[in-house]
Structure 1
C-alpha cells in the first residue's frame, strides 16, 4: 500500500508538470528561388538561391504556464539555406536565442539575441518584408563598420503588455562586453488598431570614435483592396547623415498578392553613395503553407554607390545599375 501511494504521488507530480507546459513547437521555412542577376559592366549571373519570400529557418519555441497570469517562454531559431543544405552563420542559433518571462498584465522581459527595435520599426513597413531581391535594406548604408543592427547579442528587452488599446512598444539594451559596435540601446513605440499601424523608433550603437544613431518612423493603412505603407530612417555618424525612404503597397487579388515598392537612399558625406530602388512582385498562395512567387528589382546607383539587389552576386562598379529577377517556392511548417 505504501509503495502504491508513493507511485501515485510521483504520477500526480509528473502530470502536474506536464500540464503546466502549454506548448512546444518545431517550426521552419524552406524557400528556394532561381535568380537571374545583372550588374551592368560586371555582367550577369544565374544562381539558385534561398530566402526570396521568407528567410529559411529551423526553430523551436515553447511556453510554460506558471500560473497567476505568468508564463515562461523560449525561442531558438537558426537560418537555413536549402539550396546548399547549409547553415550560413558561424553561430547555429544566429537568428534568435531568447528566454522570457511574460505577464498578461505587466508585459514581457526577454533576454538573449533578438531583433533590434529600430530594425523592426523599419522592416514592418517594407512591402517585401526586407527579404529577397526586393528588400529595401539592399540600399541601406553601413556606418562605422556597424551592420544594419538587424539583431543584437546580449540584449535585454522589455515589451509593453498587449492590453493597452492598440499601444505597443519596447525598450532594449545590449551589453557590448568590451566589443566595439556591440553596445546598443534603443526603443520603439507604436499604435495599431483596425487598419492603422504607426510607430517611431530610436537606437544608438557605441563604436570606438563616435556613436551610430538611427531614427525611424513608419506606418501602414489597410484599405481592404490594398495595404499602403511607408517608412523613413535617418542615420547619423561622425557628423555625416544618411536618409532612407521607402513607400510600397500590397494588393490581394484572390489567391494572389501583388507587391510594389520604391526606396531611396541619400547621403551627405564625401562618398556620395546615393541610390534609387524599384521592386515589383507577385505571390500566389497554393495553400496557407505553400506559395509560389516572382520578383523583379532594379537599383540605380549614383556616383560612388555600389549597392546590388542580391548577395549572390555583389560584384559591381561604382555608379552602375543592378537588377534581378527571381522565381521561387516557399513552404512553411
Structure 2
C-alpha cells in the first residue's frame, strides 16, 4: 500500500506531540499558630490564625516542552484557612494565582490572575516577606509590598536573567465597555543580583482601586445608590481613601549579605489620587478631594545564627501627609522574629510587632495604631505576638 505524503506529515506531527515532555507538580504550605493582639478595639485577644509568615495554600504547577526552547506553563494556586477549611482571598477557588503562558529564551508571557511588579521585585526585600509575615508589613500594606492584593485579567511579561538583571511588566484590562482605562492596572519593575548585593525597583498604577484592586479578592462590598461599597477594610491608615480615582505606588529596595548577616532597606511612596470619585467608592461624610500620600521607609536585619536558626529585626516609619500635603499621621513600627527549622520542610517561628501612631488618620480622627491584617487598636499603641509552625510540601 502506498502512503501519501500528507499521511507522512500527519504521522510526524503526531509523533512530535506524543514525545513532548510534560510534568505537573503538587505543592503547598500549611502555616498555623496562636496569635495575641494587645488591643483589638479596646480588648485583648487570643486566637488561632492561619497563614501569617506564608499564606496557607496548595497549588498545581505544570510545564510542557514544546520544542525549540519553547514551553507551555501554568499555575493554579488556592489559599485556605487551616482553622476552618474555608477558602481564602474572599472565597475564590484559586485566589492566590491562576495563569497560563509560554516561556522561552527571550522571556515568559502569562495570562490570568497574577502578582504585580512591586510584589515581584521589591516585596522580597521587605522584612514581612522574609521572616515577619503580614504582621511586619507596612501599615495596612498600603504599598502592597506584602502582596495583600492580586491583579485579575492580567497579561504579564518577565525577562530572562541577563548579567544579573531581570525586568518585567504587567497590564490588566479593565473590561468596562466604552471606557478602556476604567479599572485598568499596570506595573513595571526590575531587579539586579550580583553576589551579596540585591536591588529592586517597581511602579504600580491602579485606576478605580477600590473596585479593581481591593475588590479583586472575591468578597465585594455592595453598592449603595450606585456608589460602590468600600473594599478597603477597617484599617484607619487607608480606609478613608476608598474614593480614590487612582492608586500610584513607587517602591525600591536593597539588601547586602556579609557572612551570616544581611542588612536591607526599602522605601515606597504611595498616593491615593483624585479622591472623591463616586464611581470608585464611597466618599466620607463632609466630602474629600485631592491626593493623600504615604511614605514608608524600612530598615531590616537578619542573622543566620546556625543553618537551622534565623533571627530578624526591623523598623518601619510611615508618614501620611493627608490630603494635598495637609497634616496627617505618623506610624513607628518595630518587629523581632526568630525561626527554627526542624527540617528542610518544617519550621517553628516567633514574631512580635509593636506600633505607635500619632497625628490624624485617613478618617479624620486621632490616629489609632493598626498593625496589618489584625483588628485596629482603640488607642495609639498596639502589640501583636505570634507563635506558629509551618510545613511545606
Q: Structure 1 residues 81, 18: closer, same or farther in 2, change over 3 A?
A: farther
Alignment of 1:22-171 (within 5 A): 22-39=22-39, 42-88=42-88, 89-104=90-105, 106-129=106-129, 132=133, 134-141=135-142, 150-162=149-161, 164-171=162-169
Q: Cα offset for 1:221?
A: 1.0
Distance in 2 between the 1:108 and 1:167 partners?
Answer: 15
Question: Contact 1:168/1:190 (CA < 8 Å) preserved in 2?
Answer: yes
Question: Contact 1:283/1:292 (CA < 8 Å) preserved in 2?
Answer: yes
Distance in 2 between the 1:181 and 1:292 partners?
Answer: 44
**Is the partner of 1:53 in helix, strand or coil?**
coil
TM-score by length of 1: 0.87
Q: Cα offset for 1:234?
A: 0.3
Question: Contact 2:143/2:270 (CA < 8 Å) preserved in 1?
Answer: no
- Alpha carbon RMSD of aligned pairs, Å? 2.8
Distance in 1 between the 2:14 and 2:383 partners?
Answer: 59
Q: Cα offset for 1:49?
A: 0.6
Alignment of 1:198-237 (within 5 A): 198-207=199-208, 210-236=245-271, 237=273
Distance in 2 between the 1:261 and 1:219 partners?
Answer: 14
Distance in 2 between the 1:278 and 1:209 partners?
Answer: 29
Q: Structure 1 residues 307, 271: closer, same or farther in 2, change over 3 A?
A: farther
Q: Cα offset for 1:53?
A: 2.1
**Is the partner of 1:120 in helix, strand or coil?**
helix
Which position in structure 1 is the counterpart of 2:21?
Answer: 21
Kindly provide the CA deviation profile for residues 4-29 of structure 1, in whole angstroms up to 9, marking residues without a partner as x: xxxxxxxx999865652332000010
Kindly provide the CA deviation profile for residues 88-129 of structure 1, in whole angstroms up to 9, marking residues without a partner as x: 22211110001110002x101111111111233331111231
Does 1:272 find its partner at 2:325?
A: no
The 4+ residue runs of structure 1 with deviation greater than 4 A are: 12-19
Kindly provide the CA deviation profile for residues 172-224 of structure 1, in whole angstroms up to 9, marking residues without a partner as x: 11111129973111100221121111121112111286422111111111112
Distance in 1 between the 2:342 and 2:137 partners?
Answer: 26
Which position in structure 2 is the counterpart of 1:309?
Answer: 371
Distance in 2 between the 1:148 and 1:258 partners?
Answer: 23
TM-score by length of 2: 0.74
- Aligned mate of 1:295, from 351, 359, 373: 351
**Is the partner of 2:58 in helix, strand or coil?**
strand
Distance in 2 between the 1:18 and 1:308 partners?
Answer: 56
**Is the partner of 2:163 in helix, strand or coil?**
coil
Which position in structure 2 is the counterpart of 1:251?
Answer: 303
Instruction: Give the structure with the larger strand fraction.
Output: 1
Distance in 2 between the 1:141 and 1:107 partners?
Answer: 30
Gaps of 5+ in 1: 1-11
Gaps of 5+ in 2: 1-11, 209-242, 274-289, 360-365
Distance in 2 between the 1:271 and 1:149 partners?
Answer: 27
- Aligned mate of 1:239, from 288, 291, 300: 291
Question: Contact 1:283/1:293 (CA < 8 Å) preserved in 2?
Answer: yes
Distance in 1 between the 2:367 and 2:54 partners?
Answer: 27
